[in-house]
Amino acid sequence: MLVRQVEQAAGTRVLCLGESMAVFVPAEPGPAHEVRAWTRVVGGAESNVACALAGLGVPAAWVSAVGDDPFGRAVVAAVAAAGVDVSGVHVDPARPTGLYIKESDAAGSPVRYYRRGSAAAAMGPEVLDRVDLADVGVVHVSGITAALSAACRDLLRAVLDLPRTGFRVSFDLNWRPALWVGEDPGVLRDLAARADLLLVGADEAETVWGAARPADIRALLPEPETLLVKQGAQGATLITRDPATGHDLPPVFEPALRVEVVEPVGAGDAFAAGFLAAVLAGWPPARSLRAGHLQAANVLRTHHDMADPLPPETVGDLLDADPRAWAAACLTAQGVCRG
């Protein structure tokens, strides 16, 4: 199983760096302007990945900054409760914790951010002074951080400048158009090119870079040793470079697992966690893609950014299923149906 294989690997800890916020979601049906009751949860791409990894048995740490306020304490407590190391989180006495409001919709959940001037937006390269990379196998960051401030962009550059002493840097594009209003997203190309593992959705790559096919994205970004292109309900394609020859191996495509979608938010983070766990376990490309699909499908069937782990027997059966059985399977709120 996945957890046991990861725990046997050296340098397995994953360090995730980025902002997390208090999130308010409707606690009753109806349009947002009529909703009177809201539920406070926690959200943030990088901490979502860390929490999902911890749920898979992979040691994970989350590095960020929060305000010295009730929301900040709630965010840190929630991530810690998932089994994530939060010792690298800075509590800012002057700046607040970011917030966002999310409506719930299977076709896409509108969000409204209230994060300008947040504690995390003030993060800069000095954050790395409190980061221990001794047993880290992957440092995971995303393009969201680049949108927060010039200081945050400098932080990402500093992360990507780190000498690769036993770890790789994973960069998820995580395009959030609302954060880039009035900003130049051109910086994302330069940041992505310097990553070792690049994760990108085909739809967001088309919006940001004008390229949607895996081959076209690879032509635009030949530098990363691994390119993962998530193609929604169609599947995902993995392109890796052969270290012996320096040339790309043939692309590997794995179809997505069918799922009854409740809400799409958080699925990309779950995919990243499943994929990174599989990479650390040394799994082959197709199996690594299936690991990502399984985690994404699990989150797609909930209203939340994270979900309780799937039963180990379900994971094992689906990871080892032949192509016909995989295609026939569907993940629902009740479990796995066939055909």
Q: Which domains does the chain have, with CATH numbers?
A: 2-338 (3.40.1190.20)
Predicted pLDDT at 109: 62
Active-site residue (options: 190, 269, 305, 320): 269
Q: Residue 62: which of 144, 124, 6, 136 has the closest Cα?
A: 136
Residue 269 bears catalytic tag: yes
Which two three-digit tokens encode residue 35? 């909703």
* Cα distance between residue 15 and residue 62, in whole Å: 6
How would you list the strands of the sheet with 38-43, edge to edge?
38-43, 21-26, 99-102, 111-114
Using an 8 Å Cβ cutoff, are 35 and 27 in contact? yes
* Cα distance between residue 37 and residue 29, in whole Å: 10
Residue 21 pairs in a beta bridge with 43
Predicted pLDDT at 220: 97
* Cα distance between residue 102 and residue 211, in whole Å: 29
Tell me the average confidence (pLDDT) per consecutive run of 10 residues in the chain, 339 residues long: 43 90 89 87 94 94 98 97 96 96 66 91 96 94 97 98 95 94 93 98 97 98 98 96 95 94 82 96 95 92 75 89 93 80
Which two three-digit tokens encode residue 338? 């066939």
Residues 6+ apart with CB under 8 A from 269: 45, 48, 49, 52, 172, 299, 305
Residue matched to tokens 């330069």: 190
Predicted pLDDT at 310: 84
* Cα distance between residue 86 and residue 84, in whole Å: 6
Buried b (16+ CB within 10 A) or exposed e, 48-83: bbbbbbbbbbbbbbbbbbbbebebbebbbebbbebe
Locate the DSSP E strands across the chain.
13-17, 21-26, 38-43, 60-63, 65-67, 90-92, 99-102, 111-114, 136-142, 168-172, 197-201, 226-230, 235-240, 252-255, 258-259, 329-332, 335-338
Predicted pLDDT at 246: 94
